[in-house]
Amino acid sequence: MDSDAAFPARADAIEVIQRELTAFARRARGRATELHPELSLVASSILDLVIERDGCLAADLAGHFHLDKSTVSRQVAALEKEGYLEREVDPANRRNLVLRATAEGKSMARAASRSRAAAFTERFEDWEDADVDRLARYLVRYNAADE
């Protein structure tokens, strides 16, 4: 498909991108609820980042996700209530509490990751490898603007 023919004006293409990314976000929130009804997409994302970093401070989560501290506090409380996160005293600064995933939290996150991977694999089943690669590169480029 000729990109010039598909979207004659840059503004038209940006409008389509915005609409499609919004639809993607809505589906992601819905999918997160299917995987674990008690956890929001934000809470699941927080758990994933805590696992990826092998622990972090709540303030780091707020900065990473561009969320206010009260939102992070509510999401962390929900994760603690479910038994997925716990707090440890930071050995480098005993005034800080480091959030760490519990074994149950890691297990739940692995199961959710497998489910997401299967859904994405199915979604891209009829795409050419080059198209999947191109989309991946574009998404990395798009998200890098926030870092």
Residues 118 and 105: their CA atoms lie apart, in Å, by 20
Residue 44 forms part of a structural domain? yes
Residue 88 forms part of a structural domain? yes
Q: What is the pLDDT of residue 1?
A: 47
State pTM to two decimals.
0.78
pLDDT along the chain (147 residues), means of 10: 66 91 87 75 92 95 93 94 95 92 94 87 95 95 84
Residue 45 forms part of a structural domain? yes
CATH at 50:
1.10.10.10
Residues 107 and 121: their CA atoms lie apart, in Å, by 21
Residue 77 forms part of a structural domain? yes
Residues 97 and 89: their CA atoms lie apart, in Å, by 5
Judging by beta carbons within 10 Å of its beta carbon (0-12, 13-18, 19+), is residue 50 exposed, middle or buried?
Answer: buried
Residue 26 forms part of a structural domain? no
Q: What is the pLDDT of residue 39?
A: 77
Residue 7 forms part of a structural domain? no
Q: Looking at the 3D structure of the chain, how many domains does it have?
A: 1
Instruction: Give me the half-sphere count of Cα atoms (radius 13 Å) on the Cβ side of residue 63.
Output: 6
Q: What is the pLDDT of residue 147?
A: 66
User: Whole domain around residue 112: which residue ranges?
Assistant: 39-144
How many C-beta neighbours within 10 Å does residue 49 have?
16
